[in-house]
Structure 1
Amino acid sequence: MVWSLADERFQENLAAARVYFAEHWTPCAPRSASALDRPVGQWLSNLRRPGALEGRPEWEAGIRQAGFRLSSTAARSPAQATVGSRRALPC
């Protein structure tokens, strides 16, 4: 069994991002935002940095599976920021 602390933290943060979205109806969390005692805003900000997901196709797939795509495309709501069949993280 292969276990990775980074992968576990990614899954915890992804779950927190889903909770934040469910509560606030937007993936645009300020850097100070948190959910499930996780720093969701800072985590999302870090993922938007160039190269943040390099070498981690499973993380990118997890974000897509959650219904989001990391993008700098601005929009009012995730439903308005569609790229193909996926919503974009507009922040």
Structure 2
Amino acid sequence: MIDMKIDQYHITSNRYGVDVTKMKMVNGQPALTDKGIIIETSVGHYGNLSNALKGLRSYIVRTDTTKITNFEEYRNVNREIEEMFDSYLKDNGVSEDEG
């Protein structure tokens, strides 16, 4: 079972596939309902983790506040996304060989 939080994104799995959601953030922390449930909106549902990460990358590129007007800017945004993923792996003790 997958249950990862990368930046403001939450990736979970069930027997049907992998779900990616975006958590509403308040002061850098996930916002909660009165009942203590994290407020999330769906990014997508995918068949496996690899496709979920590709879908998340696509979502970030399409919806980020950074305006992409040329290929160099696109590469920079992709580099930032890679750094976000790498930071998650490092913070959770996953080596590059494993990930």
Give the strand-richer structure, 1 or 2: 2
Return the structure number with greater relative CO, CA threshold 8 A, min gap 6: 1
Report if TM-score (shorter chain) is over 0.5: no
- The answer to which structure has the higher helix fraction is 1
TM-score normalized by the length of structure 2: 0.30
**TM-score computed with the length of structure 1 as normaliser:** 0.32
